[in-house]
Structure 1
């Protein structure tokens, strides 16, 4: 998978925006202004994704490519290295999970707004 494929995948989800709030190379994806994915556009080797803590541990045990989130809360975030031992399909599944975790915790008003997009 390359950065454009990942970017297109994220932006196809309802309510998703992209920005560079930290610097010129850290691309951040948000759903309804809440972060669910971060990556480096200049060196696309990994993605930070939010994850249920129990599943995060399972993934880290199962894949060498999944590690505690770099510069993130290590209980709730994983850094997933692309093009290692997890398939593109598995990386996209983890991305879907991250997106859904954020959506599930949105206030009712924002969930309704998202449903109408």
Structure 2
């Protein structure tokens, strides 16, 4: 599952991977800002994602695998324990939401530059 989640995150526009916290934690970024942190320990994948605070609370109430962000701002980040029962489609929706929040937080110039580079590659 870890590899599938990484591949999905990297499929986002201009997403890149980084290891600013050491080899154990893979960070996915857009425009230099984090939108996902992934760790795998003893075969269990943990994914931290940015989230609207209201949605974050609702997700935590609905699913015991979703907790406040580990070592992150607990209001704006969730950490998901991904086990075989957790639906990848649900996690992908959470990745989409995190990416969109971070992309929208970039400066207008950064967003436009990313959009221009994508359009250039599509030609």
TM-score, normalisation: structure 2:
0.88
Aligned to 1:29: 28
Show CA shifts across 1:55-88 (max 9, x none): 0000000011110000000000000111265411
TM-score, normalisation: structure 1:
0.93
Runs of 4+ in 1 over 4 A off after TM superposition: 41-44
Alignment gaps of 5+ in structure 2: 119-123
Aligned to 1:39: 38
Aligned to 2:77: 77
RMSD: 1.4
Alignment gaps of 5+ in structure 1: none
Aligned to 1:108: 108
Normalized per residue, the structure richer in helix is: 2
Secondary structure at 2:74's aligned position in 1?
A: coil
Q: Decide whether the 8 Å contact of 1:46 with 1:79 is kept in 2.
A: yes
In structure 1, C-alpha distance between the alignment counterparts of 2:3 and 2:16, rounded to whole Å: 15
Q: Does 1:19 align with 2:18?
A: yes
In structure 2, C-alpha distance between the alignment counterparts of 1:45 and 1:98, rounded to whole Å: 17
Q: Please state how far the C-alpha of 1:34 moved relative to its aligned partner.
A: 0.5
